[in-house]
Amino acid sequence: MTKPASDSGPSPDAGGNPHLSTRAVLDEFASGDPEDHLKLGDLLSGLRQTAFGMLLFVAVLPAFIPIPGVAGAISGPLVMLIGAQLLFCLRKPWLPGFLARRGPHRRSMVRFRDRMARMLGWLEKVVRPRMEGVLDHPIASAFTGLLLVLLGLLLALPIPFTNYVFGVLLLLFVFALLERDGALMLVAWLGGSIAVVVFGFVSGNLVQMLVTLVDGWF
C-alpha cells in the first residue's frame, strides 16, 4: 500500500523502489511557497521506477497553457527527450544541466492539481499497480519511448487545435508510469498509435515535418 508523501521524500514500495501516486505527486509539488521554483533535477533525485513518469508529467504541463507556441517550444522537445531515453532502455532519466536547473513554479502545480481534482478522484478508483511487465520489459519500454518521441514531435509541430488532444493523451502515459499500471499503458499505446497515424502518416507529412523542424533547430 502506498504511504503518504512526506518531506523526507517518496515512500518505497514493497520492492524497495520509490512509488508515489499521481495525487501524492501533485500534493507534494503544490505544498509550500507558491513562488518557489521547482528544479527538475531536485524533483527526480532518488527516484527510479516513477522518475520517467514524474518528468513526463512536468513536460506535459505547458501543453495546457493557452499561449500559442508554448507547448511546441517546451513540451514537445522535452517529451521527445524522455521518449528517446525510454527507447534506449535507460533505467533512470538523464537531463542536461541547463534543464535540471529549470522547472515550473509551485503556483502552476497548485492550479493544475485543483483543475485535475475530479479526474484524480476517478483515477483512484480505476488505476492501480498491475501488469508491470508492460512497463518494465525492454521491448515494451522501447515501444513506449518510440511513441513518446513521435507524439512529442507532433506536439512540437504547429498543428492547430491539437495541444489539448496530445496533452490528454500524454497524461495517460504519465498516469500509467506513476501508478505502475500496465493495463492503462496498453490504452495509452492504442491512443498514441492512433494519434500518430491520424495526425502523421495519413497526411503523409510526418517525415517532411520532422526534417523541417530539425532544420529550424539547427
pLDDT mean by block of 10 residues, the chain; 218 residues: 39 44 71 73 63 84 71 82 90 75 74 75 82 89 94 82 85 89 94 88 58 60
Q: What's the CA gap between 60 and 167, in Å, rounded? A: 6
Q: The pTM is what? A: 0.74
pLDDT computed for residue 127 by the predictor: 85
pLDDT computed for residue 145 by the predictor: 94
According to DSSP, residue 130 is labeled B
Burial code (b: 16+ CB inside 10 Å, e: under 16) for 90-128 equals eeebebeeebbeebbebebbbebbeebeeebeebeeebe
pLDDT computed for residue 159 by the predictor: 74
Domain ranges of the chain: 22-217
Residues 22 and 121 sit within 8 Å (Cβ to Cβ): no
pLDDT computed for residue 62 by the predictor: 80
According to DSSP, residue 217 is labeled H
Helices (H), the chain: 22-30, 40-44, 51-60, 70, 76-87, 97-100, 106-115, 117-126, 133-136, 138-156, 163-179, 182-196, 206-217
Location of C-alpha cell 497526411: 203
pLDDT computed for residue 80 by the predictor: 92
Spell out the residues 6+ positions from residue 144 whose beta carbon is closer than 8 angstroms to its own: 83, 86, 135, 173, 185, 188, 189
pLDDT computed for residue 10 by the predictor: 40
Identify the three-state secondary structure at position 9. Answer: strand
pLDDT computed for residue 113 by the predictor: 75
DSSP string, 156-189: HS--TT-HHHHHHHHHHHHHHHHHTBHHHHHHHH
Q: What's the CA gap between 78 and 31, in Å, rounded? A: 25
Q: How deeply is 213 buried, as exposed, middle or buried, from its count of CB atoms within 10 A (0-12, 13-18, 19+)?
A: middle
Q: What's the CA gap between 86 and 83, in Å, rounded? A: 5
Residues 131 and 183 sit within 8 Å (Cβ to Cβ): yes
